[in-house]
Chain A
Amino acid sequence: MRWFWLDKFEVFQSGVKAQAIKCITLAEDHMHDHFPFYPVMPHSLVLEGIAQTSGLLICEYYKYKQKVVLAKINKAVFHCLAFPGDTLVYKATVERIDENGTVSSANAYIRKPDGEEILYAEVEMMHGILDDSYSDKKQFSVRDYRNLMVNMKVYDVGVEADGVTRLEEPEEFKNLD
């Protein structure tokens, strides 16, 4: 099992905001193990998905050169449950970035087949930027990041912070293969 709790990005504005979706299916183990015979998406994994949405936004902002980790959940309010067949939409905004860490806020929605979005959760969280004392700790390779970001369509939908200029893959990605 891979620790991916997003399926793809729909919006990605470098260092500003991102929107990602997670399609819930009955084929996922946790749907059976969380509450047996009551398949419901665990809120903890939704938080992880939101953390990945804003975390990857921050990783891209630093061009994958910093180690970014979820450090604190300041607020997490859930309004309802999500079931197999539902699509969760995570809309994250970076409120503050500095060299030590970031604050981001996110709302999650359940997207209905007609496109209507119902508020599912409100979250605020912090990511830490690990300092040099963690330089010997391996996180992801450049190849890992490229595969992740390309598969999640970041460079299909991404724009720079100005909201207009198309987001290009960094040179490190292009030099692989």
Chain B
Amino acid sequence: MPSEEEIFKTIQETLVEALGVDEDEVTEDATLVADLGAESIDFLDIVFRLEKAFDIKIPREELFPQDILTSADFVEDGKLNEAGLAELKKRMPFADLDKFAENPKVQEFGNILTVGDMVRFVASKVA
């Protein structure tokens, strides 16, 4: 099983290739959308590359929970309600959602996923 450092290194290489960013931009705290400029098709590219690199299967909704973010049960006035936040935390235990929870605007969700979150997610998959 690869260590977290090895997972980070592989994810770093993956993001450099998929997003055309420099290696030193890919830090643990960097967010995929705001800092590294990822767009929707890039997420699919990243998922494909990570599945290949780690020989794992990544259900798309685990990393990008669009079903929660678009559900009438969980979204009110463009924000996730308490049930939605609870569902999101259950789905994404690897992500730090505390800051997002302060003002859970759906349109801001894309900005919260960090490289560190992805490392923890992959670590949970290869464990």
Contact = CB atoms under 8 A, between A and B. Distances in A.
A128 interface: yes
Nearest to A103: B48
Interface string A20-39: 00000000000000000000
B45 A100 contact: no
Interface SS of chain A: strand
Contacts of A71: 41
**Chain A: interface residue count, which band?**
under 10
Interface in A70-98: 71-72, 74, 96
Interface in A33-56: none
Interface SS of chain B: helix
Contacts, number: 19
Interface in B80-114: none
Residue of B17, B41, B42 with most partner-chain A CB within 10 A: B41
Contacts of A96: 48
Contacts of B60: 100
B44 interface: yes
A126 interface: yes
Interface in A110-164: 126, 128
A72 B48 contact: no
Nearest to A131: B66
Contacts of A126: 41, 44-45
Interface in A53-77: 71-72, 74
Contact of A101 (B17, B18, B44): B44
Contacts of A101: 41, 44
A168 B60 CA distance: 33
Contacts of B41: 71-72, 101, 126, 128
A93 to B, nearest CB: 15
A101 B49 CA distance: 13
A26 B45 CA distance: 38
Contacts of B18: 74
A166 B98 CA distance: 57
19 contacts: A71-B41, A72-B41, A72-B42, A72-B45, A74-B17, A74-B18, A74-B45, A96-B48, A100-B44, A100-B60, A101-B41, A101-B44, A103-B45, A103-B48, A126-B41, A126-B44, A126-B45, A128-B41, A128-B44
Interface of A: 71-72, 74, 96, 100-101, 103, 126, 128
